[in-house]
Amino acid sequence: MRARWILLSAGPMAVVAQQLLPISWVETYFAGGVAPRLARAIGALTGLIPLSVAELGVLTLCLSAPWWWRRGWAIACTLSVGYALFVGLWGLNYRREPIAGALDLHTRDSSVGELRALVDEFVARMNQARAAAPERDGVATLKGDFADAVIRAQDTYRRAGAERPWLAGDYAPVKPLLLSPLASAGGLAGVYIPFTAEPHLSTSGLSFTVPFNACHEMAHQRSVAREDEANFVAFLTARDHGDPDFQYSAYAGVLSHLLGALARVDPEAAKAARDRFSPQVQADRRAYAAWWEAHRVDWLWTASAAANNAYLRSNGVPDGVASYGRVVDLLLAEHRARTAP
């Protein structure tokens, strides 16, 4: 009975710890020490198995559901311990200091002119990368297959780690989701599972999105929890890789956020930017929209977005899924630092 109460108290204690631990401690000792070491150690084991250990675990839980449902205390204890493990393995990263400091960037309110200039630059660079990228049936594709893209993503993080040591280290490789069609139906392109230190990607989507999405999930693996910051790290690493398919994926992955921000303050400029997309880029965007339209299941998409929104809010991200778009502030700060005289 005592053990049961200890297990039941694990989750509430994790909630208290998550709120009370100083941000400076989380940054220095957890994100800068404990979390990446745990991720590498766990990933060294799960990385030996080509299949998703996390998905196999979920399948095991589903098969054992009849046993669980007859024991309410077992469900409560599992949820409590599971949440405590989530916090202790990775969830505390939501308490980190903003990543702009680690990158020596200064975010601030930007002018409409700055935003227009950045959009113009990104449209031009995206068109250039698309012209050099491989294609199949008129749509951009990868230089190799999924496995090759994963290897190249690991390589670009190794190079990034030479300049930014907190991105370095050998972690478990990105794995394909076994349930990729189901993930796509719910609008899920990828997910990182802290319990097994495995980043996952859906393989049923258009392949030109793989480099950016892979780098995004790998950023989570390296203790970058907030979505806007993971988007930014994904952009930097994919852009700096060197291969056109990675560069194209990088610009395509963030340009929608930039155009959305510009459309709110200068709709005409946003429309003019879209009109400057090359015919190849326009064809890719049509194919991308058509693919999602054919594969999404509306009720599952809505439920998935609501769950993600609730998850982010519960971890101290007040704007939930809207936080993905805050990558614009980081992109503008990086642009100012890069173009400063």
Q: Which residues of the chain have pLDDT under 50?
A: none
Determine the Cα–Cα distance for residues 41 and 34; give it in Å rounded to an integer. Answer: 11
Tell me what pLDDT residue 69 has. 65
281 within 8 A of 130, measured Cβ to Cβ: yes
Written as one letter, the residue type at 210 is: V
**For 212-224, what is each residue's pLDDT tens digit?**
999 999 999 999 9
Q: What is the pLDDT of residue 321?
A: 59
Residue-wise pLDDT tens digits, 93-140: 999 999 988 888 888 888 899 999 999 999 999 999 999 999 999 999
Residue 172 is classified by DSSP as P
Q: Is 178 helix (H, G, I), strand (E, B) or coil?
A: coil
- Cα–Cα dist 338/335, whole Å: 5
Diameter of the chain by CA atoms? 68
225: part of which helix (H) or strand (E)?
none
Q: What is the pTM of this model?
A: 0.93
Note the pLDDT of residue 80.
Answer: 87
